[in-house]
Amino acid sequence: MKILNLNSNSIRNEIVPKIFFQRVLSFYSIGISKNLWKNYSIKIGNDNKKKYTTIIFYKSNFYYPIVSIKYFYFDNQDNFQIENNDKKTKLNNISQINSWFQNYFLKKAKI
């Protein structure tokens, strides 16, 4: 079963950029060590002819989502949307995601 196409040579044909996936999984590892979440899921789909990938971190047993990260490529730019505690944050690049997660871990994460 093919889940992700992580070709480092071409960003535009990918479902999700390799660097994005690596960063998200590294933050997933940090969250596990702090007991913030225990599982994650990856969903891939099409919405109005846009391919998107959503990675969701769960507290336990895929019932309680903590953080949802959606990636899609639209209007010749990478777009990211992070949902946490009913807040939606739109970001445009990987460094903004790094900053968001660093702030999330530095603050006491409310679940």
Each residue's pLDDT tens digit, 13-36: 556 777 888 888 899 998 888 888
Q: Where are the beta strands (DSSP E) in 1-111?
A: 39-47, 50-58, 65-74, 77-84, 87-91
Average pLDDT of 35-61?
A: 84
Alpha carbon of 65 to those of 12, 21, 31: distances in Å?
A: 29, 18, 13
Confidence of residue 108 (pLDDT cuts 50, 70, 90): low
pLDDT in tens, 64-93: 888 999 998 888 888 999 998 888 999 988
| Token code pair at residue 66 | 């903590």
Strand 39-47 relative to strand 50-58: parallel, antiparallel, unpaired? antiparallel
Whole-number Cα distances in Å, 81 to 8, 9, 30, 61: 22, 24, 20, 23
